[in-house]
Amino acid sequence: MSDTARLRPHRAHLPLVAAATGATPSRRPVWFMRQAGRSLPEYRAIRADHGMLESCFDPALVCEITMQPVRRHDVDAAILFSDIVVPLKAAGIDLDIVAGTGPVIAHPVRTADDVTALPRLEPGSVGAIGKAIELILAELGDDTALIGFAGAPFTLASYLIEGGPSRNYERTKAMMHGDPALWNVLMGRLTDITIGFLTTQLEAGVDAVQLFDSWAGALSDADYRTYVAPHSARVFAEVASYAVPRIHFGVGTGELLASMAGVGADVIGVDWRVPLDEAVRRVGPGKAVQGNLDPTMLFAGPEVIDREVRRVVADGERAVAAGAIGHIFNLGHGVLPGTDPDAITRAVELIHSL
Ligand code: 1CP
């Protein structure tokens, strides 16, 4: 471990870490996926002068954008400002993050030659991210966790194969089923990149990691178990020695919760479609759950927000009664760009008061 990592001896006392490990948190932990970003005017002000990828590779900007929602909302965790395609860019893959669209890959990966030509991630190429984490840890309060993250191999593969965001994942599933050997080579290469990116963040001292398999919900459970789970399991196994909570999340994954829990995470993120106590029945006991307020509820006014926050808290308590070791409050997916930041601040206050 690096010196920076040793400067964070109080991990076990962080509310998020306590909830993830079956201890009693000093307060109910809450953070929000996509809490840094377009819902915040101070983020939009920075991005007016800096491109998305430029911002992701500038340690001072990464630190500033990561800290913005922590200062504003008093959440219990910062999430590193980055993107799941940052390690792909760092490895040398020609891509951009296009405003209003998301990641766009210049040369989609569709043939054996494309897969063979994929570059590997040299640790030095994500040095800016390690530097950013050092800056964040120097600024972050002692009670706030820093969460690192990466995209899971399947979700990364979907962007590389489709060339960008997709509705049906037809080319991705065509490779998975039509050429499973090639699929496994591609997934192996992406697994290596994901492990490399997470290792850089863990060496720099992050307190937890989240693996986003955002689009795994497009798969049947059988396909998930055959073509995806072994690779995600390798990611979790490779980072286990850091002994920090490992969170796993995907959207629309109600039918996959048992299989996703089987790949080795300590905390299972649940979207808004499945109540947390029902999620625990699918996941099984012994893990913490994270979630799962519907992000659109933040548009519905104070009374609805109050009611829905209380419902999720009560579901979380039922989840613990049903065998979960803890509950971390979050949304069921990311903060939507048009969200009123004050609604988030008030929701955090309420969650901490319950
Ligand atoms: O112009 C802008 O401001 C760009 C919008 C944006 C932002 C703020 C993108 C493009 N990425 C990000 C940051 C980001 N991405 C974070 C850090 C901020 C935080 O959480 O507070 C994180 C964790 C991500 C991870 C990410 N990127 C995921 C997994 C999480 C999820 O939402 O499911 C995914 C799928 C991406 C791809 C991506 N990057 C950006 C967009 C708009 C998308 C989604 C595109 C699509 O619909 O496929």
Q: Does 302 map to a domain?
A: no
159-200 pLDDT, tens digit per residue, is: 999 999 999 999 999 999 999 999 999 999 999 999 999 999
For residues 286 and 323, the answer to whether their CB atoms sit within 8 Å is yes
- Using an 8 Å Cβ cutoff, are 142 and 213 in contact? no
What's the CA gap between 322 and 240, in Å, rounded? 26
Confirm whether 352 is domain-assigned. Answer: no
List the structure tokens of 329. 């409050």
Q: What is the pLDDT of residue 201?
A: 97
CA of 125 to the centre of ligand 1 (A): 21
38 catalytic residue (yes or no): yes
Cα 181 to averaged position of ligand 1 atoms, centre (Å): 30
159 tagged catalytic = yes
- Report the C-alpha gap between 11 and 145 in whole angstroms: 8
Asked if residue 257 is part of any domain, the answer here is yes
CATH code, domain with 213: 3.20.20.210
What average pLDDT values come out for the chain (354 residues) when binned by 10 residues? 48 93 96 94 96 97 98 98 98 96 97 97 95 96 95 98 97 98 98 98 96 98 98 97 96 97 97 98 97 98 97 98 98 95 97 97
Residue 235 lies in a domain: yes
20 domain residue, yes or no: yes
In degrees rounded to 5, what are phi and psi of residue 78? Answer: -95, 145
> Is residue 32 included in any domain, yes or no?
yes
On whether residue 354 sits in a domain, the answer given is no
Which atom from ligand 1 is nearest to the alpha carbon of 38? 3
Q: What does R_g of the chain's alpha carbons equal in angstroms?
A: 19
Predicted TM-score (pTM) of the model is 0.95
Annotated catalytic residue 83: yes
Give me the number of domains the chain comprises: 1
What is the CB < 6 Å shell around ligand 1? 33-38, 47, 52, 79, 81-84, 97, 99, 102-103, 149, 155, 165, 212, 214, 334
pLDDT at 5: 45
The pLDDT value recorded for residue 67 is 98
Expressed in angstroms and rounded, the spacing between residue 238 Cα and the centre of ligand 1 is 24
Residue 115 is part of which domain span? 3-294+311-334
299 in a structural domain: no
242-290 confidence digits (pLDDT tens): 999 999 999 999 999 999 999 999 999 999 999 999 999 999 999 999 9
Q: What is the DSSP string of 105-142?
A: ESS---SHHHHHTPPP--GGGGHHHHHHHHHHHHHS-T
Residue whose entry in the numeric block shows the structure tokens 């803890």: 326
DSSP 336: P
Which pLDDT value is given to residue 11? 83
Nearest residue by C-alpha to atom 42 in ligand 1: 102
Nearest CA to ligand 1 atom 35: 214
Cβ atoms of 328 and 288 within 8 Å: the answer is yes
β-pairing verdict for 95-98 and 102-105: antiparallel
128: number of Cβ within 10 Å: 20
